[in-house]
């Protein structure tokens, strides 16, 4: 069973596509006439020219809007598509979930005619710059150490790719890991944590001491003293990256 059949039940409640990130993804897709979305989930960030979504979790497929592109239940590692099936293939916040990322990336290259767009993150930058995992929940960062792929390796597998930083707006509507960097109370909400696989999969028992420390720091005002520079920032770069490969 796919992990998103368990943790994905409320995905569309906390993971609404963010319009600023959408604009960056759509710009990266450029003039591609048709797009296949791999690891598509509930369809976030799919432009209207999306012709097919590939997604292994039925729970996620069931959350796709009725007018979204058709979805096929399959994995990146074995795409049920012919060679060169679409101008562009995108894979957003999904590669870290794949059982065999090397095989999955080879499949993206087989199916894309012109362009591949991957949204992922640089784990070293994330650990260093994001206060939540650096100072409160190192267990969650350790969980991601095992599954986050080094970006240079990913770029190499893609046959070369440019890397664009993806700044995270302070009011990001897509509740992934760092979305609430300026809204720290959100991480105390189990509903928010359920939409962040790094936290959901690490589990509340392991997170409890760090969450208790965060709650205490918020109550005493220590959090606000410690990160006094954050309220003045509108967006932050904590390592999210768009990799764009031109084939």
The string of DSSP letters for 153-212 reads HHHHHTTS-EEEE-PEETT-SB-STTTTTT-GGGGG-HHHHHT-HHHHHH-HHHHHHHHH
Q: State in angstroms the smallest separation of the CB of 214 from ligand SAM.
A: 23
76 lies in the site for ligand SAM, by CB under 6 A: yes
99 forms part of the interface with ligand SAM (CB under 6 A): yes
Query: For ligand SAM, how many residues bind (rule: CB under 6 A)?
Result: 23
Q: Closest separation between CB of residue 86 and ligand SAM, Å?
A: 16
Residue 197 and residue 7: Cα distance in Å, rounded?
Answer: 7
Instruction: Burial-class residue 232 by CB neighbours within 10 Å (0-12, 13-18, 19+).
Output: exposed
Verify binding: residue 193, ligand SAM, rule CB under 6 A: no
**177 in contact with ligand SAM (CB under 6 A):** no
Part of the chain binding ligand SAM (CB under 6 A), chosen from 39-47, 185-193, 208-216, 237-245: 39-47
CB of 96 to ligand SAM, least distance (A): 8
Contact (CB, 8 A) for 37 and 46: yes
**Among residues 92, 235, 93, 241, which one has the least CA distance to residue 168?**
235
Choose between 117 and 207: whose C-beta lies nearer to ligand SAM. 117
Pick 45 or 126: Cβ nearer ligand SAM = 45
Q: Indicate whether 57 belongs to the interface with ligand SAM (CB under 6 A).
A: yes
Site for ligand SAM contains 202 (CB under 6 A)? no
Residue placing its CB nearer to ligand SAM in the complex, 46 or 139: 46
Stretch that binds ligand SAM, among 73-81, 109-117, 211-219, 226-234 (CB under 6 A): 73-81
- Cβ-proximal residues to 81 (8 Å cutoff; 6+ apart), any chain: 36, 52, 111
Q: Cβ-closest residue to ligand SAM?
A: 41
Note the residue count of the chain: 247
Closest residue by Cα to residue 94 from 117, 70, 118, 78: 118
User: What backbone torsions phi and psi does residue 75 show, to the nearest 5 degrees?
Assistant: -110, 160
State the residues that interact with ligand SAM by CB under 6 A: 2, 4, 15, 38-41, 44-45, 55-57, 60, 75-77, 92-94, 97-99, 197
């Amino acid at each position: 069973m796919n992990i998103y059949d368990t943790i994905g039940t409320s995905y569309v409640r906390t993971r609404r596509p963010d319009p600023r990130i959408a604009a960056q993804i759509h710009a990266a897709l450029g003039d591609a006439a048709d797009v296949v979305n791999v690891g598509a989930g509930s369809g976030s960030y799919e432009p209207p020219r999306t012709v097919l979504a590939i997604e292994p979790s039925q729970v996620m497929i069931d959350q796709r809007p009725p007018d979204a592109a058709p979805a096929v239940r399959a994995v990146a590692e074995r795409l049920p598509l012919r060679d060169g099936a679409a101008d562009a293939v995108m894979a957003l916040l999904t590669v870290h979930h794949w059982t065999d990322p090397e095989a999955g990336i080879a499949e993206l290259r087989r199916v894309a005619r012109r362009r591949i767009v991957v949204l992922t993150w640089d784990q070293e930058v994330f650990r260093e710059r994001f206060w939540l995992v650096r100072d409160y929940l190192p267990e969650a960062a350790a969980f991601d150490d095992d599954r986050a792929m080094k970006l240079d390796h990913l770029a190499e597998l893609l046959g070369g790719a440019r890397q664009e930083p993806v700044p995270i707006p302070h009011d990001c509507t897509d509740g992934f890991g760092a979305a609430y960097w300026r809204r720290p109370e959100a991480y105390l909400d189990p509903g928010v944590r359920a939409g962040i696989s790094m936290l959901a999969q690490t589990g509340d028992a392991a997170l409890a001491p760090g969450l208790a420390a965060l709650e205490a720091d918020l109550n005493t005002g220590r959090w606000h003293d410690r990160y006094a520079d954050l309220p003045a920032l509108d967006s932050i770069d904590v390592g999210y990256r768009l990799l764009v490969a031109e084939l």
